[in-house]
Structure 1
Amino acid sequence: MISRIKNIKESGLPVVNSGRAENAEDFFNQIIKAQFANKEVIKSIHSALIEYVNQDSAVYVLRLYGSDPKKRYELLRRGFLSQYPDGNKIVFCDNTFAMPFAAMKINGMAYSPEELLDYMNNPNLQCSFGSTREEHELAFYKYNSKSHINLNKNGWYLAHIIPVGYNYTGRSLSQTFRNPDRKEWEVSANGIRLVETPMKDTELSMLKAHFLRMVHPLNSFLVPKRSLVAYPGKNLGEEQELINIVQDYIKVEFHREYNELMKIMQVPPQDAIAAKTSGPIIWSESASQIRLEKRHYNKMHKAGTREKGADIYNTDEEETLERTLNSIGKGAFIKLYPLIKKNPSITIKEICDKIPSYKKYPPNCLHSLHSVIYKNELEYMYIDIQCYK
Structure 2
Amino acid sequence: MEKFFEVKKHTYPKVQKGSANSYEDLVDKLIKNQFENKITIGEIHNTIKSYIDEENLFFLRNYNTASKDNYHNLRRGFKIYFEKENLNIAFCDNTFVMLFNAMKLFDLSYSMENLKNLFNQNKLICAFITTKEERELSFYKNAGAIITNSKFNANGWQLSHLHTVNFCNFSEIIVNSDRNDWSNDHNTRIDLNTEFDDESIKKIKAHFVRLIHPLNSFLIPKNKLIKYFGKRLGEEQELLQHVENYISKEFPKIYDEFKDMAMIKEVNNPNIISNNIQINWKNKK
Identity %: 37
Could you tell me which residue of structure 2 aligns to residue 360 of structure 1? none
Q: 1:193 aligns with which of 166, 189, 193?
A: 189
Which range moves more in the overlay, 9-18 or 66-75?
Answer: 9-18
C-alpha distance in structure 2 between counterparts of 1:9 and 1:241, whole Å:
34
Cα deviation, 1:160-190, whole Å, max 9, x if unaligned, reads 1110112x4xxx212212112212212x321
The 3 A distance-change label for structure 1 pair 38 and 118 is: same
For the residue of structure 1 that corresponds to 2:129, the secondary structure is: coil
Could you tell me which residue of structure 2 aligns to residue 75 of structure 1? 73
Normalising by structure 1, report the TM-score.
Answer: 0.68
C-alpha distance in structure 1 between counterparts of 2:62 and 2:133, whole Å:
16
Give, in angstroms, the shift of residue 280 of structure 1: 1.7
Contact conserved, 2:4 with 2:110, CA < 8 A, in 1? no
Cα deviation, 1:137-161, whole Å, max 9, x if unaligned, reads 1101112366234522221111111
C-alpha distance in structure 2 between counterparts of 1:83 and 1:203, whole Å:
16
Question: How do 1:340-359 and structure 2 match up within 5 A?
Answer: none
Could you tell me which residue of structure 2 aligns to residue 207 of structure 1? 204
Q: 1:180 aligns with which of 162, 177, 196?
A: 177
Flag structure 2 segments of 5+ consecutive residues without an equivalent: none
Equivalent residue letter for 2:237: Q
Cα deviation, 1:308-328, whole Å, max 9, x if unaligned, reads xxxxxxxxxxxxxxxxxxxxx
Normalising by structure 2, report the TM-score.
Answer: 0.91
Give, in angstroms, the shift of residue 16 of structure 1: 0.9
C-alpha distance in structure 1 between counterparts of 2:48 and 2:164, whole Å:
18
Q: Which has the higher Rg, Structure 1 or Structure 2? A: 1
Higher relative contact order (CA 8 A, sep 6+): 2
Give, in angstroms, the shift of residue 213 of structure 1: 0.6
2:91 is the counterpart of 1:92: yes
Contact conserved, 2:124 with 2:145, CA < 8 A, in 1? no
Give, in angstroms, the shift of residue 253 of structure 1: 1.1
Supply the RMSD in Å over aligned alpha carbons: 2.1
The 3 A distance-change label for structure 1 pair 65 and 27 is: same
Consecutive aligned runs of 4 or more in structure 1 exceeding 6 Å deviation: none
C-alpha distance in structure 2 between counterparts of 1:18 and 1:269, whole Å:
34
Which range moves more in the overlay, 127-136 or 271-280?
Answer: 271-280
Equivalent residue letter for 2:165: V
Give, in angstroms, the shift of residue 236 of structure 1: 1.3
Give, in angstroms, the shift of residue 286 of structure 1: 1.7
C-alpha distance in structure 1 between counterparts of 2:60 and 2:177, whole Å:
13
Which range moves more in the overlay, 172-181 or 212-221?
Answer: 172-181
Cα deviation, 1:206-237, whole Å, max 9, x if unaligned, reads 11100111110111111111111111111111
Equivalent residue letter for 1:215: I
Could you tell me which residue of structure 2 aligns to residue 8 of structure 1? 7
The 3 A distance-change label for structure 1 pair 275 and 76 is: farther
C-alpha distance in structure 1 between counterparts of 2:143 and 2:13, whole Å:
22
Give, in angstroms, the shift of residue 87 of structure 1: 3.3
Question: How do 1:1-389 and structure 2 match up within 5 A?
Answer: 1=1, 3-55=2-54, 57-85=55-83, 86-144=85-143, 147-149=146-148, 151-166=152-167, 168=168, 172-186=169-183, 188-197=184-193, 198-269=195-266, 272=269, 278-286=276-284
C-alpha distance in structure 2 between counterparts of 1:119 and 1:133, whole Å:
24
Which protein has the bigger strand share?
2
Equivalent residue letter for 1:161: L
Equivalent residue letter for 1:101: F
Contact conserved, 2:3 with 2:110, CA < 8 A, in 1? no
Cα deviation, 1:63-104, whole Å, max 9, x if unaligned, reads 111111121111111111111224321111111010111111
Contact conserved, 2:245 with 2:268, CA < 8 A, in 1? no
Contact conserved, 1:140 with 1:191, CA < 8 A, in 2? yes
Could you tell me which residue of structure 2 aligns to residue 343 of structure 1? none
C-alpha distance in structure 2 between counterparts of 1:38 and 1:175, whole Å:
38
Which protein has the bigger helix share?
1
Flag structure 1 segments of 5+ consecutive residues without an equivalent: 288-389
Give, in angstroms, the shift of residue 58 of structure 1: 3.0
Give, in angstroms, the shift of residue 271 of structure 1: 7.9
The 3 A distance-change label for structure 1 pair 146 and 137 is: closer
Equivalent residue letter for 1:176: I
The 3 A distance-change label for structure 1 pair 92 and 277 is: farther
